[in-house]
Chain A
Amino acid sequence: MTLQRPIKNILRRRTDQAGLSAVWKQVQERRHPRRRFRGFALAAGVSLSVAAGLFVWLRHAHSLDHAGPLRVVDGQPLQSLEAGHDPRTVELSDGSQIILSPGARLEAVDNAARIFQTTLVRGRAEFEVRPGGPREWLVHAGPATVEVVGTHFIVTRESGSVSIQVTRGEVLVRGKEEQGARRLAAGESFRMNDSSSTEANAEATVAPSRTGSDEKSLGGVYSDATVPNQVGMKRIAGADPHLPDVVKRRLRGRPDTNFVARICIDKGGTVVDVAVLQGIDGADKSLVAALRQWRYEPQPIPLCFVTQLVFSIE
């Protein structure tokens, strides 16, 4: 069989007029996309403008609602709070809540539109701070300062110590010493010795007192003064840490050198984690290894605390 050329003469086209119209429509949409996107752009622009306006208006309304100091929800000024024989719950104007245990006393020391600082003079206070509120919250309790992010936590100041328990969110706890800063997450707690836990001397500084007297008897390099004074944790086992000889030679004749670490122990008092907060070049590894061998008195709950080692080379 012979095919006559051009072969197309015996063929037919399958794309009909409707198909061609559809193609032309697509061509136009691709050729003039601005017409299509102009609508989107306009709608998006209007939406963004409305959203931005709403945001500004809400922020403005919010700042108007909460301008000025924090108040009790009924409008009363917030100065000092005290619980008698019964617990006292105080609802605040920003939606936060404070529950004072019997006998607890709280004083507002700085109450403004952007900051609320309060001091727990004594007892136990439970804080439910609204997240994302307009104010920065600071809770002082003796040597401890709790920076609040928006969370639920309990501060107890009694029997010569301050303890902070976080049940939700997280807080930043600072001692009087900067290196005592510690972030506490939900489920974590922290305890500090508070030698000033009297109402009259609530803000007294608890300065770590260095013993320094047994430096030589401890190998001439070691003084563990801060542990008992700042945190109140007692070591019951474990060798004294020593600096490597090369580090000793480097530090000889210099003023005291500090090594600060955060130690976490389990209920049995076994060290489970050591994090160096302020190290000594060339000595961190051996010091951490030594700290990991320490044991502390058993505790009712797992704890983390900050330890400072002071080295003085004669």
Chain B
Amino acid sequence: MSADANDEAELVALVVRAQRRDRSAEAVLFERFAGKLVGMLERLLGSVADAEDALQDTFVIALSQLGRLRDPAAVASWLTGIAVHQAQRRFRRRRLLRVLGLDRRIRDAGLAELAAPTTPPEVRETLHRLDGLLARLAPSLRVAWMLRNVEGESLTEIARACRCSLATVKRRIATADARLRKQLNIGDEP
């Protein structure tokens, strides 16, 4: 049995234990996925506080609905879907708060802010511009584009996470791409 197969078997066993309300299994599940999810949420939301808040909601929902997960091996994409949904909820809330003039959010995790210390200044400048352009996109376009270009997720995974069809994902990414590429140089898809 390969290492990947061993990992998957171990993950399935872990999820099954968590489904049986094993608290230690739940904690291990959190340790295993929280880092990846909070990183994605930071990049999507541009705010550490919002990301931690969304991560908390994600795991509260996930652990309470874990029994409904039919394929334990798909727990990673299932968690990603919940997290993306939480991010989209926050985008909608922000839009309402902005209309009411009550948006007091601190943007401390934009792509430029998250850049590693060794990042060249010109890349940092590009990330800064990208932040500004992404902020002007509709949330559905922004999320699809970021999951594809920032997170490197597959189209199928994005469709699952966004709870929409593959065609819709492609259209959203293409639309966002068209608007962004005019002003930025972003490497082509591999």
Select the residue from A6, A7, A26 with max chain B CB neighbours within 10 A. A7
B122 contacts A by Cβ under 8 Å: yes
Q: Please report which residues of chain A, range 40-67, place their CB below 8 angstroms from some CB of chain B when the two chains form the complex.
A: none
Nearest-CB residue, chain A, relative to B58: A27
Rounded to whole angstroms, the CA-CA distance of A15 and B43 in the bound complex is 11
Tally the A-B contacts, defined by beta carbons under 8 Å.
100
The stretch that binds B, out of A16-24, A202-210, A238-246, A297-305, is A16-24
Q: Contacts A5-B186, A23-B52, A30-B60 hold; do A11 and B34 have CB atoms under 8 A apart?
A: no
**A-contact 0/1 string along B116-152, CB 8 Å cutoff:** 1001001101110010000000000000000001111
Q: How far is the CA of A2 from the CA of B55 in the complex (A)?
A: 31
Flag whether A8 is at the interface (Cβ < 8 A).
yes
CB distance from B52 to the nearest CB of A (A): 5
Residue pair A2, B42 in contact (C-beta under 8 Å): no
Chain B contact patch, size range? 35 or more
CA of A54 to CA of B108 in the docked complex: distance in angstroms? 56
A-to-B contact residues, CB < 8 Å: 1-8, 10-15, 19-20, 22-24, 26-27, 30-31
Question: Which A residues are CB-close (under 8 A) to B40?
Answer: 8
On whether the beta carbons of A23 and B56 are closer than 8 Å, the reply is yes
Interface residue ranges, B against A (CB under 8 Å): 27, 30, 34-35, 38-40, 42-43, 48, 51-52, 55-56, 59-60, 63-64, 108-109, 111, 113-116, 119, 122-123, 125-127, 130, 149-152, 184-187, 189-190
A178 to chain B, nearest CB (A): 62
A sample of 5 cross-chain residue pairs with beta-carbon separation below 8 angstroms, ordered by A number, consists of A8-B39, A11-B114, A15-B48, A19-B38, A30-B60
Kindly list chain A residues whose C-beta atoms are within 8 Å of the C-beta of B39.
Answer: 8, 11, 13, 15
A24 to B35, CA, bound (A): 12
Chain A residues near B30 (CB-CB < 8 A):
20, 24, 27
Name the distance in Å between A7's Cβ and chain B's nearest Cβ: 4
Bound-state CA distance A85–B63 (Å) is 89
Given the known interface contacts A14-B48, A24-B27, A27-B60, the answer about A7 and B150 at a Cβ–Cβ threshold of 8 Å is yes
Which residues from A are CB-within-8-Å of B116? 10-12
- B43, A8: Cβ atoms under 8 Å? yes
Q: Which of B56, B108, B125 has a CB less than 8 Å from the CB of A14?
A: B108
Looking at the complex, which one of A1, A5, A19, A23 makes contact with B189 (CB distance below 8 Å)?
A: A5
Report the bound CA distance from A27 to B18 in whole Å: 14
Question: Which B residues lie within 8 Å of A7 (CB)?
Answer: 111, 127, 149-150
A13 CA to B40 CA, complexed, in Å: 9
Which residues of chain A have C-beta atoms less than 8 A from B119's C-beta?
A: 10
- CA gap between A24 and B59 in the complex, in Å: 8
In angstroms, Cα B125 to Cα A266, docked, is 87
- A12 CB to closest chain B CB (Å) equals 5
Q: 10 extra interchain contacts, Cβ-Cβ under 8 A, other than A1-B126, A8-B151?
A: A5-B152, A5-B189, A6-B149, A7-B150, A10-B123, A11-B43, A11-B150, A12-B114, A20-B55, A23-B55
In the complex, what distance in Å separates the CA atom of A11 from the CA atom of B27? 26
Contact between B152 and A8 (Cβ–Cβ < 8 Å)?
Answer: yes
Chain B residues whose CB sits within 8 angstroms of the CB of A5 once the complex forms: 149-150, 152, 186-187, 189-190
- Chain A, Cβ-Cβ closest to B149: A5
A-B residue pairs, 5 tightest by C-beta: A6-B152, A13-B39, A11-B114, A7-B150, A2-B185
| Given A5-B149, A14-B108, A27 contacting B59 (CB threshold 8 A) | yes
